[in-house]
Structure formats: structure tokens, C-alpha cells
Structure 1
Amino acid sequence: MKKLLSRRKPMSASRPSRKMAFDLTKAKALFFDIYATLIDWEAGIYPLLLRLSQKAESPSNRLEDTPESRTKLLRAFAKHDKAVGHESPTLAYAQVIEEIYARIAKDLGAEFSKEDQQAFGQSIGDWPAFPDTVEAMKVLGKYYKVFVLSNVDNASFERTRTGPLRGGHWDGIYTAEMVGSYKPSPNNYNYVVKRLEEDFSIKKDEMLLVAQSLDIDHISTKALGFQPGVWIARESSAMGGIKDELEQQGLVELGATYATLGDMAEAVKKAFESKRTST
């Protein structure tokens, strides 16, 4: 459930967002938002919604493949995603996005088949990983325990794990289906705290959020007293919140910002190597 983000200027590989130096070596565990951070869900969602728009009865709603169309359709997805998740917190995410598909079709005045709707729900496992994701996760897994915290159902994440994230390793997988609610409910983040403390003896101040979503994940972890997390500021993202606005409102506090997960992995490797050589 993510809001639209205006286009950002390219940034350097590593840019700490706090005045004090951010020590990547202090954390013992990373927990990740998956879709938008590791998986390019917009690349998976947009073509299917564009195809749906071309079935609209009104010619004005039959969209061409343009940046404006992309923004419009992803804005519609974000709006309905938030609404459906709030209305039906225990509905499997594949069914959530089936409902989103139906609502967008209604907005567009487009006819669709049950097969089209179900295919949209099942598309989660086909959404591609960002090119840097799998290799970056292999590096990060050498230095931390790594965990999933995702607004998705178990079956959908399993298709992602064995598909675009194949070759990666997870120490724990925590989904909305397990928790019984969708982020930004505090229940989801508190579930991570409980599991890591009880199962891995990792304390809350030793956990670090890694996420693209500012308006859901980083706002939530700040409100719940987590240490400042890492923002993966994917340049192509249209959803996730506007950093300057949220920081001005005091709603987010970031430990560090990286353009890609690969940039973070390189920074982590250098930080741990530097620490090892200095001791």
C-alpha cells in the first residue's frame, strides 16, 4: 500500500541522511520490504493495467504507453491498494489485487473477464527483481541475519522466492497472512520484533529496516521507536512517498540512503572490512 512519489534526481551510491555518521556494522539483522525494494512491482503491474485501460468503452480512457499513463494507473493502484487492505486486512494479497483490478476497471469503464482478474492476482510471482537484488542479498547475508516483512500472502511470496529471488537466502519470512493484518498496522512490525527476539535473541535496537517505502515502512518504524532505517531510493519508483515533505513533517528519520540495494551491499562490505582492519 504505497503512495505516489515524484521523480527523484539521481543520487550517489551512499548518502547518509543524518548529521552523525551511520554505522552499518552495529546491526545484527536486516528486515526488508520486498515489493518495490527488491522486486520491481511497478514493472509488473503497469503493463497489465495499461492493457486493461485499452479495453475501456470510452476512447478517452484508452491510454497509450506514456509517463503520464504510468503515473495515472499506478496512482489508481496505490489508492485502491490502501483502501482494500484497510477494508479486508485478512484477505490474501493475491485476492486484494484482484479486487484492485476490478475497481480500476470500473473507474476506466473497461470490461474484463474473471480469467483476466485472476491472472492479475497471480502475477505477483512474475514481477521481476531489480537487476542488483539477488547478488546484493548474497553479500548482505554474509554480514547480517536477513528477514522478510511483506504485505503479501504466503503462496505469492513463495512464487517470488523460487522465481525472481531464486538463489537468495532468508533467515525468516514474515507475511501479512501470518500476522493477520497489512502494514502499516503496528502489529506487523511488532511481530518482527517478537520473532527476532524470541527465535534469534536479536534485540529491537539491533534490527534495521531496509525499504523503498517511506510513507508506509519508514514512517511506521520511526513511530514505533526503531532505529533509523535504510532507504533504497529506486529512481524509477512512482510510489512510496516524498522524502522532503515527510522529513519536514518529522515523520521519517533515515539512517542512510542508497540508490540501489547493490550500492548498499557495497557500502556494507566496505564498512565491515574497515572495521576489521582497524581492530
Structure 2
Amino acid sequence: MIRWATFDCFGTLVDWRHGIATGIELLFPGRGAELLEVYNRFEPQVQAETPVRRYREVLAESLRRTAAEAGLELGPDDASVLGTGLPYWPVFPDTRAALARLREAGWRVALLTNCDRDLIGETQRRLAVPIDAIVTAEDAGEYKPGHGPFRRFAAAFEATAGNWVHIAQSHFHDMVPARALGIPRVWVNRHGDPRDPAVADAVLPGLDGLLPVVERVHAAAR
């Protein structure tokens, strides 16, 4: 039986917060951490308003709204800074080893990402571990927490609760819809999110020790 471990990419495998804050810092030195929290409010709104909008434009529009709320002026091309920098966002230190261990144990690894094909293609080289399948928001025509990316993956790869575990950092984007769809799931709560941990079948603070937890969640779902 093929067993699938699917991951959200940005925030789970790649340090999304660092990437956004650093991009903002290039434009507004000393404001990156502060404006990250503002940006984080706008991005889901932009995604929900126009689900087919490409992620480069989601990044740009979310940054425009962030700057406007903060009373800051963006130059003509400034809003493209996040999309330009995304391929260089850092991979978390525990990512590559966790992915490699899953593959060595016979799991196939896939990404379900709120991103475009071209951007995730650039990011793959930083992961440095083979990825067996990718479903992007561009493919699904919808951003998570919409169910489109999950349903597209299930249909394309015959993934069910009996051979699939989803692993992600976002309670909102990943854990809630995965639970609604009955997908076994591991919440990687990297930032001490206080929301209900019962949304997940297991909770970890990072990817260290992921393999035995995934095996346990998988066995319980069969």
C-alpha cells in the first residue's frame, strides 16, 4: 500500500514568518516584526476574496494593504519584494532530516501548498529531499482553508484516511479543513498557538520525532 505524508510548505517546512518579515524589513527597516502581524491579517482575506489570484499577486496586494494601514508609502515596484525573495526563504533546521526519515521508512512525501507552480519549483531546490507530488493553490483554483487542494490530491493519488497523514503548522489553513474532511493529521505547532489542540490527532512543537508520530496516527486511522 502506498502511504502518503502530505505537508503544508510555507510555515511548516520553510520559515514563512522570517521570509515575510525580512522582505518587509528591506523596505521599512526596523518595522519587519511589527508589520508581519499586520500582513498576517490581510493575506487570508486577499486569498478568500479572489481564490484564483496567483500567489505573487496575493503577496503584493497583502503588502500594499499592510503599508496602507501603517501609513507607509510603497514605491512602484516595491510590492513585488516578497514574491522575488520567496525562493530564498530559509528551510527550518529540522525539515530535511524529517522528510528523509519518512522516505526511508517507505512514505511518499507530497506538498499541498498555498502557492504557484513556479514558486514552489524554486523552493524545492532548498528542500534538498525528493518530493513525490505537489498540489498548489494554482492547480486547485483555491487556497486553503478551502477544501480544493485536499480534494484534488485525494482524487489524483487515491489518498484516503487509510493511507494518508497530513502534517502542517497552520491551525486555520490546514488542521481545521483536514479534520472536516476526515484526514488524519499532525499539527506542528511551532509558535505555541493556543487554539484547541483537539483539532489534530497529534501535536508536535517541530518536526523532530515526526516519523513515529506519523506512524502512530496512521495506525490509529486504519
TM range (shorter): 0.7 to 0.9
How big is the shift at 1:168? 0.8
RMSD between superposed Cα atoms in Å: 2.4
Q: Could you report, residue by residue, the CA deviation over 1:103-135 in whole angstroms, capped at 9, with x for unpaired residues?
A: 111112212223322222222111100011112
Structure 1: unaligned runs, 5 residues or longer: 1-25, 55-63
The 2-side partners of 1:98 and 1:146 are apart by 30
Counterparts of 1:77-156 in structure 2, within 5 Å, are 77-143=39-105, 144-156=107-119
Q: Could you report, residue by residue, the CA deviation over 1:4-58 in whole angstroms, capped at 9, with x for unpaired residues?
A: xxxxxxxxxxxxxxxxxxxxxx99211100001000011111122234345xxxx
2:148 alignment partner in structure 1? 187
1:219 alignment partner in structure 2? 176
1:255 to 201, 206, 212: 201
Larger radius of gyration: 1
Give % identity.
Answer: 28
The 1-side partners of 2:209 and 2:89 are apart by 22
The 2-side partners of 1:233 and 1:258 are apart by 6
2:14 alignment partner in structure 1? 39
Q: Matched residue of 1:147: which SS?
A: strand
> Is the CA contact (8 Å cut-off) linking 2:2 and 2:108 kept in structure 1?
no
The 1-side partners of 2:13 and 2:148 are apart by 23
The 2-side partners of 1:268 and 1:190 are apart by 24
Aligned residues, how many? Answer: 216
Instruction: Give the structure, 1 or 2, with the largest relative contact order (CA under 8 Å, sep 6 or more).
Output: 1
Q: Matched residue of 1:191: which SS?
A: helix
Q: Matched residue of 1:195: which SS?
A: helix
The letter for the 1-side match of 2:49 is E
User: What's the TM-score, normalizing by structure 2?
Assistant: 0.88
How big is the shift at 1:174? 0.5
The letter for the 2-side match of 1:255 is D
The 1-side partners of 2:143 and 2:85 are apart by 19
1:28 alignment partner in structure 2? 3
How big is the shift at 1:242? 2.9
Structure 1 segments of 4+ aligned residues over 3 angstroms from their partners: 50-54
